[in-house]
Amino acid sequence: MGPYTSARPKCLLPIEGVSLLERLVAVAHQCDVTETIVVRGKKGGAVRCPSVVYIDDADGQNMVHSLFKGRDYIRGRVIITYADILKGPAWLGHSQKRRRNSRLF
């Protein structure tokens, strides 16, 4: 992945012109997720997507550290996932069937 991610985070890699993060946020909206929170790492300034709350973690050591940075948002119904893995509506739709009004973190 080196040549593709040297200048941008993996979640911004385009698949048919749409970044992985944009796809994930669109699926979240389709499944009635009420809030999307993204923890941005070292290249965080490049991560911009409408209707998303951002938490910066410039020293981003690992996912546990990122979760700790966003701990104030982890309450109620929360779905925690990586933003750099391609997921379609079936994944989140299945998770959401009984979880309307959740947060995606």
pTM of the model: 0.76
Is 100 inside a domain boundary? yes
Taken in order 90, 54, 20, 41, the sign of the CA dihedral is negative
Q: How many domains does the chain have?
A: 1
**Looking at residue 65, what is its pLDDT?**
84
Report, as ranges of residue numbers, the positions in the chain whose pLDDT lies below 50: 98
Give the pLDDT score at 28: 82
Residue 8 lies in a domain: no
The predicted structure's pLDDT at residue 35: 84
Tokens of 92: 């989140």
Decide: 103 and 78 in contact? Cβ < 8 Å.
Answer: yes
Query: In which domain, by residue range, is 50 found?
Result: 19-104
Cα gap 33→60, rounded to integer Å: 26
Q: Which residue has the tokens 């979880």?
A: 99
